[in-house]
Amino acid sequence: MTGSWPASPAQQGMWLTERAGVGGRAFHMPLAVWLDGPLDVAALGEACEEVARRHPVLGGVLAEDGGELRVLAQGVPPMREGGDLEEELAGPVDPVAGPAARFTLIREDAKRHVLLFQAHHAVFDGESKDILLRDLASWYGGAAPAPLVLTHPEVTLQQQVRLADALPDARRYWQDRWQDQRELHLPGLSGVSVAAAPGCALDFVMEDLGGPAGRLEVTRFEVVLAAYVALLRAYGNARPAVGVDLSTRTEQSRDHVGAFVNELPVIGAPEAGTFGEFARSLRVELRRLYRHREVPLARAVDGIGPRAALTPVSLSYRRRPETGPLFPGLGASVEWMMFNGWVRNTLHLQIVDDPAGTAARLQYNPALLDPAGAERVREDLVALLAAIAADPDAPLDRLPLPGPVPAASMATAGTGADGPAPAELVREIQAIFAKELELDDVEPDDDLFDLGGHSLTITQIMASARERFGVELSFEVFIDDATATRIAAEVARLQGQAC
């Protein structure tokens, strides 16, 4: 499929993050399947091509067109054969330059191969892993999946219509709830970040989530989230904000590969009573939040600049179906939680829950959270979940919760302007802001995002600065201080370099 269609809200956010240079490799999503037996390499290559045709978003790149961010379908490269798995994992996937996704087959011996699929999160999400392997296995076996009811552009259009209708209510919901927290309490913590960085991971297994979930009449996800929030509260975080990845899939998009996910913060903490009471109250608040699950927080509130994660601490939970990919004549094993070596923030808890067990991983930034501190978080969480499994309705003060630890403030990188800009230059930047935002007037210290600016507004301001002043502004300059005063200072600095 060729053509183009408007980018989704999730894609717009990731595009801005990539342009701002704060995404690193954190949005690269690898998926590996080991195939044992007499593999038909040609048939597998043809199956990969069929999957790419069925899901054209995999071959899409993000590009501006007339002030609008669009997905341009360019196609996925044919399956290639590679050598070393670790080397291939380091290969790029790029939603701007392309390709955004690729297939690589690695031969370990005559009857054992690894199919490595890599995609950027702008075109792929966790549930897409099951969809992709299911479709791939069908085509490899010679049976094409049932046709999709809607095309990907049609699904995206429906999503945009729903978002426009939902935006007013979402703004009212978040008006008094969201606060951008600038400090965090964790053991062994020296700083806080919502920018991507090389990371480390600690793997473990969660036992018996079904028992307490059934007794408390909540979901397995709600048990984990309540325990995670209770632990953060015990460390000294008064009202922890945990960024949670929520699926935005509908009946029309359930069989589509793509980025059908939205990160939103869950904010709150247990004050007293039992764990069961807190878990059930959290369930009630989640049901309120779910009404706004398709609206990105940056659309509903002002002042959120480009960042790799919404909050310094986050959680992703995925409940996998019971069936796996069945490649005829082959044994298949899948690494569903393949780690790419990067983290999006300070601490992230990833969970994949399936009939074989509940796999968990703590991903953390070792430059900010030392390994001993991360290990303590894991041990504290495991001990807390074990106590909850033994007595889900235990009073909170009888659970093995740790004591408070010191806070670390959020560290943000400056952009290095040399000094204040001339007043006339500030006024010119104010005029550019006002024009692009369609406002009558903008004050020197008004924040672009507070005024309703977003990713495309930034690109338009960059284009105006290029045309009027002959300088190339970077996205980074807008991240921490998106005011006319700050942008004018950066323009002055760049003009000074040019001289």
Tell me the C-alpha distance between 28 and 339, whole Å: 10
In this predicted structure, what is the pLDDT of residue 262?
A: 96
Q: What is the mean pLDDT of residues 32-61?
A: 97
Q: What is the mean pLDDT of residues 459-482?
A: 79
Which CATH number is associated with domain 3-153? 3.30.559.10
414 pLDDT more than 50:
no
Token pair belonging to 354? 């399936």
Whose structure tokens read 């209708």? 165
Q: Give the model's confidence band at 499: pLDDT under 50 very low, under 70 low, under 90 confident, else very high.
A: very low
Give the residue range(s) of CATH 3.30.559.10 domains in the chain. Answer: 3-153
Q: What is the pLDDT of residues 203-250, one digit of tens each?
A: 999 988 999 999 999 999 999 999 999 999 999 999 999 999 999 999
Q: What is the mean pLDDT of residues 1-10?
A: 83
10 pLDDT more than 70:
yes
Q: What is the mean pLDDT of residues 63-92?
A: 89
Q: Are 484 and 446 within 8 A, CB to CB?
A: yes
Report the chain's terminal Cα–Cα distance, integer Å.
Answer: 48
Give the residue range(s) of CATH 1.10.1200.10 domains in the chain. Answer: 423-498
Q: Note if the bond before 99 is cis, omega within 30 degrees.
A: yes
In this predicted structure, what is the pLDDT of residue 2?
A: 62
In this predicted structure, what is the pLDDT of residue 463?
A: 81
Q: What is the pLDDT of residues 338-384, one digit of tens each?
A: 999 999 999 999 999 988 889 999 999 998 999 999 999 999 999 99
Q: What is the mean pLDDT of residues 66-71?
A: 86
Pairing of strands 313-319, 347-354: parallel
Neighbouring C-beta atoms of residue 86, cutoff 10 Å: 7
Q: Domain 186-409: give its CATH architecture.
A: 2-Layer Sandwich (3.30)
- HEC assignment per residue over 388-447: HHHCCCCEHHHCCCCCCCCEEEECCCCCCCCCCCCHHHHHHHHHHHHHHHCCCCCCCCCC
In this predicted structure, what is the pLDDT of residue 384?
A: 98
If one compares 303 and 255, the residue with the highest pLDDT of the two is: 255
415 pLDDT more than 50:
no
Tell me the C-alpha distance between 208 and 220, whole Å: 9
In this predicted structure, what is the pLDDT of residue 428?
A: 93
Q: Domain 423-498: give its CATH architecture.
A: Orthogonal Bundle (1.10)
Q: Give the model's confidence band at 416: pLDDT under 50 very low, under 70 low, under 90 confident, else very high.
A: very low
Q: By mean pLDDT, which of 8-22, 191-205, 404-418, 431-445 is the weakest?
A: 404-418
